[in-house]
Structure 1
């Protein structure tokens, strides 16, 4: 059986308390509400990234479509202008001049149709550019929110880490005088029992299980030398006996 002085066993309780505090600080660090908010904002930013990419593609397509529509209109205008100049010069036969006049009228109708197409594309482009601007503004706002939440998270982390450093230093000072074999048993049980390896026995109740120790087991513990480790049958944790154990 492993032995340890009653003082070392009580010191082990102090180590357990400090380890529990460190576990609590780690839990606090990993469960800050800001972390969930950052994850939520990241998801929203990712959705906006996709929406912005789609919107930019649509805007680019419409700008190319508008450029083509403008070129089509300009081509008809240029042809009509050349025909107007030829008609104004009066050169050519009457039949040729009549054909020019007819083509000018046809080009005017064609220009009107193309200008309607151009206007429709311009309206669609304006709508998509407005939507893209709104998406971009929303994206920037989310980034600003994320930066604010991240700053709050970092400040909380700094506070928690500073406290954890103090507790870890105290823990190192507390565990240093303990025998290596006792510390090894403690660490093994902590890994096996969810971080809780040692507890007090008070007034016949195991703080490891929260239950009263059965009379037969309690009598066996009473008969066990003080420097011999005893364990809670229910939880498997080391039981430390103090003045109020029984």
Structure 2
């Protein structure tokens, strides 16, 4: 393939833009914020599971405490009723029975209140654990929001830079010979780089030094020949810096 030396040199400008675009694409995929967001997301998921367990523990204790309160209230109602009957007087046997039942109810109330107090202490501990995990969850959510903000800000900057580079690439590629650009694009698609400068006798793509028959081939090629590296197959652009 033939192409004017100037066109080949401008191919390096096209490669520089494509390299910059590839680097920008890589940066988009490897932003530190992305890893941070993933890590915080896992932390939030674990904290949410912990929060659910803590909430269930509080809810279970609230339910048990409520049940004890109902039982205590029933005992109080029975005590009031028995006390009223006792105050009304009656047969000795009946009075003795009421007094015995009141003593039993007093013991039952005391047991229930002790059990309720123990549950209330457990609930205080459980509520503190719930508040702690909620605080940590809130902090993690805040860190994720901040990381997302920084990610979006950086992505916005990268997008602008990509648009600028793409805008510069279009007229440059359009101004080069179509067959040269086609070959360049084919090589770039296959290897990630389509063209490189020969510098100090080395291929600028694979960094292999030219020697022997390969060096003689490149030296002997007319200036408008499009030469390719025998090792990496990229287009080798020759300039005064090539050392040939």
* TM-score after normalising by structure 2: 0.94
Name 1:12's counterpart in structure 2.
11
d(CA) in 2 for partners of 1:141, 1:208 = 48
d(CA) in 2 for partners of 1:107, 1:244 = 105
Q: What per-residue deviation string (whole Å, max 9, x for no partner) do you get for residues 83-132 of structure 1?
A: 011001103x1111101100100111111111111111111112111211
Within 5 A, what are the aligned runs for 1:120-199? 120-193=118-191, 195-199=192-196
Deviation at 1:13?
A: 0.9
Deviation at 1:179?
A: 2.6
Counting matched residue pairs gives: 243
d(CA) in 1 for partners of 2:120, 2:240 = 89
Name 2:88's counterpart in structure 1.
89
Within 5 A, what are the aligned runs for 1:102-121? 102-121=100-119
d(CA) in 1 for partners of 2:213, 2:2 = 22
Q: CA RMSD in A?
A: 1.4
d(CA) in 2 for partners of 1:107, 1:203 = 103
Q: What per-residue deviation string (whole Å, max 9, x for no partner) do you get for residues 4-31 of structure 1?
A: 2222211111110111111112222222
Deviation at 1:141?
A: 1.5
d(CA) in 1 for partners of 2:232, 2:127 = 66
* TM-score after normalising by structure 1: 0.93
Secondary structure of the 2:132 match is helix
Alignment partner for residue 214 of structure 2, among 212, 217, 231?
217
Deviation at 1:146?
A: 1.6
Name 2:76's counterpart in structure 1.
77
Deviation at 1:228?
A: 2.3
Alignment partner for residue 207 of structure 1, among 196, 204, 209?
204
Question: Which stretches of structure 1, 4 residues or longer, exceed 6 Å deviation after superposition?
Answer: none
d(CA) in 1 for partners of 2:241, 2:128 = 76
Within the alignment, does 1:230 sit opposite 2:214 as a pair? no
